[in-house]
Amino acid sequence: MQIYKVGGAVRDRLLGKPVTDIDWVVVGATTEEMLAKGFRPVGADFPVFLHPKSGEEYALARTERKNGRGYGGFIFHASPDVTLEEDLIRRDLTINAMAEDDQQNLTDPYHGQRDLEARLLRHVSPAFAEDPLRVLRVARFAARYAELGFTVAPETLELMRQLSESGELEALTPERSWKEIARALMEDQPQVFIEVLRECGALKVLMPEVDALFGVPQPEAHHPEIDTGVHTLSVLEQAALHKQPLTVRWACLLHDLGKGLTPEEEWPRHIAHEHKGLKLIKAVNERFRAPKDCQELALLVGKYHTHGHRALELKPSTLLELLQSFDVYRRPQRFEEFIAACEMDARGRKGLEQRSYPQADYLRGAATAARSVAVQPLLEKGFKGPELGEAIKGERLKALKAYKEAAPA
C-alpha cells in the first residue's frame, strides 16, 4: 500500500501556512489490511480509518457517484485498484486535489500548484456538483485566502450558480451548512464569504433575508454607504477586524434584517425595523439550528441595537428595561457582546470606521450601577417574593438616575 498526504495539509504547506490537521489517502489497500494494522474504522460504510497512535484520518482511495439528492445519496467505490488520480479527481478544488508522498514528491494531475500561483479557486471536474456543500466551502476558502489575493475562477462561479439555481442547496442538512457558516464567519474576511455566496445566487437560497438587504437605501446622514447590504458587510468586516467571537459576528450579520421589509415608499427611513426584523432573525436562526448563544444574541441585538446607539439619551427607566432584558446581573458576558455588536454596527459605515463609541463605556457603567444594588438590606426590611423583586427594581432605578445625573453630558 502507498500512503499520501492530501488536501488541506498539502495546500497549506505550499502556501507557507501552518498545517493543523493532516488527511491521508491510502492506495492499494483493503479494509481488512487496514484493520490488521490496527486502524480504527470511522463509520460503517465509509472507508475512512483513524491511525491507532496519531488519530489522524486515513481514507482508502475511492471514487464516488451521486445517487439522489443531499449528502446521504452517495455510492462509494473503494478498492485496491482505485488510483490516486481517480481519488483526486472527485475532490472539490484543484488546490485541494494534490497529494504528497513521504519524500514530499507532489502528485498534481489537475494543476493545483498552477492555481495556487494564479491565486485561483477552481473546481477539479464536473464531479464538484455532486456535493452542494462545496458552494459554501468555496465561499469560505475565498474568505480565508482573500488576503493572499485568491478569487473564484469564473467557470467555478458559473457552476456554483447552476448548483444554487438547481434547488440542490435546499437538500443540505442544517448541521453541515452551519458548520461551514460558523467557520467562514470566523475567518479574517467573513464579508467575502457573504459576497461570494451572493455573487453565485446561493445567498438568495440560503439566507434570502440577508440577500434582500442589497439595494435597500438608508439615510445618508447616518449611513454614508447608503446601501443596507453594503453596511451589513462592513459591520461583519469590523467584527473580524476587532476579533469578535462567533456570537457577535452572527448577530452583526442579522442585526438589520428588518430593513429588508420596509415598503419602498418609506425608504430611506426604516421605522421600527428592529422589531420587524425579529421574526426574520428567528427564521434564519432556526433554519441553520444555530447554537443557543448565537440565536439569543442575534435576537437581542436585533431588538435593541438602536437603544445601544442612543444609550446616552435613554431615560433611566428605559436603561433599566434594557439591563433587565439582558439579565445583566447573571449574564454580564452577554451584555458585553451586545455592546460589542452595537459598536461594530456604528463603525461599519463608510468613513466612520475609526469613530469613538462612548456609548460602550456608558452602558458598562450603567450595568455596574444597577448591579451594585444590594439585596440584603431589602430582605432585612422584610421584602419577600414579588414585592422583593419590585423593591430591587426600584433601587436599581434610583441607582441609574444617580448614574445618569453624575455622567458628563
- The span from the CA of 182 to the CA of 293, in Å, is 13
Choosing from 131, 337, 343, 345, the residue that interacts with ligand CTP (CB under 6 A) is: 131
SS3 state at 47? coil
- Closer to ligand CTP at the Cβ: 8 or 201? 8
Examine residue 23 and tell whether it contacts ligand CTP (CB under 6 A). yes
Q: Which residues contact 91 (CB under 8 A, 6 or more apart)?
A: 7, 97, 124
Q: What angle do CA 242, 306, 271 make, to 5 degrees?
A: 135
- The minimum distance between CB 344 and ligand CTP, in angstroms, equals 25
The HSE-up count of residue 269 (CA atoms within 13 Å, CB side) is 4
| Interface with ligand CTP (CB under 6 A), residue from 4, 5, 8, 280 | 8
Does the protein bind ligand CTP through residue 96 (CB under 6 A)? yes
Nearer to ligand CTP by Cβ, of 16 and 351: the residue is 16
Options 99-107, 133-141, 321-329, 368-376: segment touching ligand CTP (CB under 6 A)? 133-141
Strands (E), 185-267: none
How big is the site for ligand CTP, counted in residues (CB under 6 A)? 11
Nearer to ligand CTP by Cβ, of 196 and 344: the residue is: 196
Distance separating alpha carbons of residues 137 and 187, to the nearest angstrom: 12
Whole-number Å distance between alpha carbons of 172 and 241 = 30
Nearer to ligand CTP, 15 or 407 (CB): 15
Report the residue from 99, 121, 133, 342 that binds ligand CTP according to the rule CB under 6 A: 133
**From 92, 168, 211, 345, residue interacting with ligand CTP (rule: CB under 6 A):** 92
Note whether 91 binds ligand CTP by CB under 6 A.
yes
Q: E strands, 190-298, where? A: none
Residue 375, number of CB atoms within 10 A of its CB: 12
What is the sign of the dihedral through the CA atoms of 228, 233, 234 and 240?
A: positive
3-class DSSP state of 22: coil
123 binds ligand CTP (CB under 6 A): no
Q: Which is nearer to ligand CTP, 136 or 363 (CB)?
A: 136
What does the angle CA 180 – CA 202 – CA 88 come to, to the nearest 5 degrees? 60
CB of 91 to ligand CTP, least distance (A): 4
Which is nearer to ligand CTP, 91 or 270 (by Cβ)? Answer: 91
**In this complex, which beta carbon is closest to ligand CTP, that of residue 91 or of residue 249?**
91
Nearer to ligand CTP, 13 or 404 (CB): 13
Closest approach of ligand CTP to the CB of residue 387, in Å: 56
**Pick 134 or 396: Cβ nearer ligand CTP:** 134
Judged by CB under 6 A, does residue 134 bind ligand CTP? yes
Q: How many helices (H) and strands (E) does the chain have?
A: 20, 11
Q: CA–CA separation, 173 vs 168, rounded Å?
A: 11
Contact segment (CB under 6 A) with ligand CTP among 100-108, 130-138, 253-261, 371-379 equals 130-138
Residue type for position 41:
P
Pairing of strands 74-78, 40-41: unpaired
Rounded to a whole number of angstroms, the minimum distance from the CB of residue 45 to ligand CTP is 17
Label residue 326 exposed, middle or buried (CB < 10 Å: 0-12, 13-18, 19+).
buried
Give residues in contact with ligand CTP (CB under 6 A): 7-8, 23, 91-92, 96-97, 131, 133-134, 137
